[in-house]
Amino acid sequence: MPNNTTFKALLVEELTNKEFSKSIVSRNISDLPDNDLLIEVHFSSLNFKDAMSASGNKAITQNYPHTPGIDAAGVVISDKSGTFSCGEQVVVFGYDLGMNTPGGLAQRISIPADWAVKCPETLTLKEAMTYGTGGLTAALCIEKLEKMGATPADGPVAVTGATGGVGSVSIALLKQLGYSVVAFSGKPEQSQHLIDIGADEVLHRDDINKVNDKPVGRPLWANAIDTLGGDYLANVVKQLKPGGAVSACGLASSPFFSLNVLPFITRGVSLLGVDSVYIPLKDKQHIWQRVATDMKLPNLDELSEEITLEQTPEYLDRFINGKVVGRYVVNLQA
């Protein structure tokens, strides 16, 4: 347990230009940046971006030693800005947390006050982190589709990277909202799990690419949520029904893709970019309220596994090795 001056944290250190170590260490409050808001972190979660930071990806984190963790939920210790009261429960995701600012895989964080939002009363701190960046991104993807006019009556929604954090929460949320879901995954052994959380059909992710080099494919899905990027994103677009859209939010396969314009000008489909990092604070507050109300899932525990801070080095490696299933919630008080 932390005290007034020291706390436990995951620390990533650079050993050589290509090697990085991950260890749990004791840190001092003085090691944190001097920001307005000091938070005792109760729960965090793991995301692909955390794994990239922990593996030394300089596009994510420029300077080491560093504590990753782009999510945090906890209790306010002090706030020099006067925005929050001592003891108030808050959640933090996005901005620079866990990138170049010490992140949520620690029992204390110090951040600007305008990075935090009050935790909705209908969510516990653990539930908030079961969503976390992955779940909030899923909700934002669905809301983008809704703004384009998507309804359950339009037909099935394709979800790529279905076993990952964004994919699995997307499936559960879509099912709750009445949509039919086709889940695409490279882990056939997880098919029953995907059905259990809401998928109506599970296909191998490589089925998406059977369209090959054709400029367009058969119109199969009304809309889609893509977490993979690369050829998967390009070929999802080619197989959308007229007027459909895909919310693109990930690059697990590749940040690059090649696509012709025919799907856009012959079927009127749309490619929607989804950002969960730098969206305005009012939009973050809005989407938190949605996941606390009409998007609150009754089966959150089925979507996540609770782990301790000491387990995070092993679990972060799962992201790099393609072994992720669902969401991982980190209990910082265990």
Percent of the chain at pLDDT above 70?
99
- How much is the pLDDT for 3? 53
Per-residue pLDDT at 91 exceeds 70? yes
Domain architecture of the chain: domains with CATH = 6-119+299-331 (3.90.180.10), 134-273 (3.40.50.720)
Per-residue pLDDT at 256 exceeds 60? yes
327 neighbors 165 (Cβ within 8 angstroms): yes
> Residue 278: pLDDT band by 50, 70, 90 thresholds?
confident
- How much is the pLDDT for 213? 86
Q: What does the pLDDT look like over 160-210, one tens digit per residue? A: 999 999 999 999 999 999 999 999 999 999 999 999 999 999 999 999 999
Q: What does the pLDDT look like over 118-152, one tens digit per residue? A: 999 999 999 999 999 999 999 999 999 999 999 99
Distance in angstroms (rounded) separating the CA atoms of residues 179 and 159? 12
**pTM of this structure:** 0.90
**In the chain, which ranges are E strands?**
6-14, 20-28, 37-45, 71-79, 89-93, 108-111, 116-118, 157-159, 181-185, 201-204, 221-226, 240-248, 270-273, 304-308, 327-331
Q: What single-letter amino acid sits at 279?
A: I
Angle at 39 between CA 33 and CA 44, to 5 degrees: 100
> Residue 305: pLDDT band by 50, 70, 90 thresholds?
very high
- How much is the pLDDT for 16? 79
Per-residue pLDDT at 1 exceeds 60? no
